[in-house]
Amino acid sequence: MARNVSTGRKLITTVVAWTIGILIFFPILWTFLTSFKTEAQAIASPPVFLFFDWTTENYSEVQSRSDYLKHFMNSVVVSFGSTLLGLLIAIPSAWAMAFSPTKRTKDVLMWMLSTKMMPPVGVLVPMYLIFRNWGLLDTRTGLVIVLTLINLPIIIWMLYTYFKEIPGEILEAARMDGASLTKEIIYVLTPMAIPGIASTLLLNIILAWNEAFWTLNLSAAKAAPLTAFIASYSSPEGLFYAKLSAASTMAIAPILILGWFSQKQLVRGLTFGAVK
């Protein structure tokens, strides 16, 4: 039976939700507005919000100084490539842990998650030397590999959670009908977990797109993604806030648009299996 919620409570909940939403969104809005200011207006005190001389000069200068499309394509290849490679590895792994568990399965899951707790700088030197010796330094292939490895625990954990919500009887019925292990995963398990797989894919694309530590340290010019594109506007002479804001807006706009159009699928996947 549904509970009756008072109008006052609805109003308070709405106000609180909008307040939190505005606080979260305000830095993005401020970055967007600053990208249309001059450098003098960007550092003005008190700051100017809407009433300033709007200009697109920062975007023109950013594009003339840096090859945005090259960095953009690097980000697309690295984020989508690492996520798809991670899914190819994680789907069989999560299937094995969800439907053929051993007494060590939970220990393995905790060990994988614990690797995310280690500061990345702790393994920077050996990773740098491995990449240099194997010719992977400043290559898209190298970045795809390293981002796959650092996000793989999250992908496996998310898929394991979704797969656990699928009744094992369905897979047993497929085996009785003669389905091989490969067909069971491809034609039975994967279609049933599409919402969970889709949300995992979207979340890890966002994580890979925003990864800065490894992309800044393992790339230079050829494979540099948009994170390096943004960092190039921080110089010893100081920060050029207007140009930095323009570069940041150009870097985050694609992933914001992707998130906006896929929000329904993302929410559906994150709540997959929550209601039975």
Map out the domains of the chain as residue ranges: 66-232
The tens digit of pLDDT for each residue in 152-168 reads 998 998 888 888 888 77
Mean pLDDT of 2-18: 80
pLDDT score recorded for residue 107: 87
In sequence order, which residues have a C-beta less than 8 Å from that of residue 188 and are 6 or more positions away?
170, 171, 174, 179
Topology of domain 66-232 in CATH is MetI-like fold (1.10.3720)
What is the Cα–Cα distance from 156 to 109, expressed in whole angstroms?
8
pLDDT score of 273 more than 70: no
What is the Cα–Cα distance from 68 to 244, expressed in whole angstroms?
13
pTM as predicted? 0.82
pLDDT score of 78 more than 70: yes
What is the Cα–Cα distance from 219 to 80, expressed in whole angstroms?
17
Mean pLDDT of 43-47: 83
What is the Cα–Cα distance from 98 to 192, expressed in whole angstroms?
14
225 with 219: CB under 8 angstroms? Answer: yes
What is the Cα–Cα distance from 157 to 163, expressed in whole angstroms?
10
The tens digit of pLDDT for each residue in 203-220 reads 899 889 989 899 989 988
Q: How far is residue 66 CA from its own chain's centroid?
A: 24
First to last CA, the chain: 17
